[in-house]
Amino acid sequence: MFKVIGFLKRRPGMSIEEFRSYYETYHRVIGEKYLSGAAVKYMRRYLDAFPDPITGEPSETPYDVIMEIWYPDRETFEVTNARLMEPEIAAEIVEDEEKVFDRSKNCFFSADERESVMPPLL
């Protein structure tokens, strides 16, 4: 497996609720359209900050969602990524990203995962 992780920030002025709704209603659909047949899994993990321990006020997180995409291998990722960079497809993605993300804050990584097998709970 080859995994890509994106740390994504909502655009300024957009509430957390508006961001999550837009992502799940519109942007997710674009992702599924171009990832279908290539990605094994497409996951969004929305982040909720704990309140400040002194004031009780919610904290602002540096990112609002962790986006994860699993591919069967690096080659599939590279072929898919090249397709996503085709001018017509890239323009569609960027146009929608500008409606929902602060693109200057977004960053992407590949992940080499290791999982521990934990003993059963007592």
DSSP reduced 3-state for 97: helix
- Written as one string, the DSSP assignment of 7-57 is EE-BPTT--HHHHHHHIIIIIHHHHHHHHTTT-SEEEEEE--PPBPTTT-P
pTM, two decimals, is 0.89
Return the sign of the alpha-carbon dihedral for residues 17, 88, 34, 43: negative
Are the C-beta atoms of residues 69 and 60 closer than 8 Å to each other?
no
Residues contacting 77, CB < 8 A, separation 6+? 2, 4, 38, 71
User: Which pair of tokens denotes residue 47?
Assistant: 């982040």
Task: Show the tokens assigned to 80.
Answer: 């898919």
User: Would you identify the CATH topology of the domain 2-50+59-111?
Assistant: Alpha-Beta Plaits (3.30.70)
pLDDT tens across the length of the chain (122 residues): 999 999 999 999 999 999 999 999 999 999 999 999 999 999 999 999 888 888 888 788 999 999 999 999 999 999 999 999 999 999 999 999 999 999 999 999 999 989 999 999 98
